[in-house]
Amino acid sequence: MGLRKENGNATEAKLPDSHILQKILNEHALSRCYLADLVQIADEINHLDRLSDMSSEFRRLAHTIDYFYHFKRHIEREEDIIFPYLKKFGWKGLCRADKDEHRKILADINNLVVLVSSFGDFKFVDFNGYLQKIIQHFIPMVQDHLSYEEDILWPIALVVLDDAKTWETIKAFCDEFEY
């Protein structure tokens, strides 16, 4: 029933490009690319003896963290627009579990933003230690979360909200609030 399949994604292929879940799935794919970049950048930084805010590694790190900072809009779209419909059909617990994961993800994103923003306040060894500690938690958590949504939450949403008008309404809300 999952949206992701080893040999392709039949459910995703059936969704029109304008479907809100298609957009969410595409954002998930982009997030996986940024997670891979974050792993690579953190590894590069971990092998350095020093780092400056003008170095390519730091600039790439800041750019990647900025992507995740703006990923908050993705989370808002899920919580503010899709979850209310799922809750209406009795899936409150599933939405609550996802929302709890969102809070943890947002906390790590905020920690990364603060860390990068206050780079000059740290010795390199301390900055690197904090960075490594945060991403060791953040990366697997986000990967698991994306898989959970794609394999469990969104397939349930497609079954429960099996009405084109409902999805059109959800899309209209997203467009209205510029999600």
> For residue 4, what pLDDT is reported?
52
Tokens of 59: 């600039």
Which residues in 62-80 are b (16+ Cβ under 10 Å) and which e? bebbebbeebeebbebbee
The pLDDT score that the predictor gives to residue 14 is 78
Reported in sequence order, the residue ranges of 16-150 that DSSP labels E, i.e. its strands, are none
As given in the structure block, the two tokens for residue 38 are 């974050």
* Token pair 């899709």: residue: 82
CA-wise closest residue to 148 among 105, 90, 88, 178: 105
Give this prediction's pTM.
0.88
Q: Which residues of the chain, if any, have pLDDT below 70?
A: 1-13, 179
Q: What was the pLDDT predicted at 171?
A: 87
pLDDT digits (tens, 9 = 90+) for 122-160: 999 999 999 999 999 999 999 999 999 999 999 999 998
What does the pLDDT read at residue 10? 44
Q: How far apart are CA 41 and CA 156, in angstroms?
A: 36
Domains, the chain:
17-176 (1.20.120.520)
pLDDT at 177: 77
Q: What is the pLDDT of residue 8?
A: 45
- Of 84, 72, 88, 44, the residue nearest 142 (C-alpha): 72
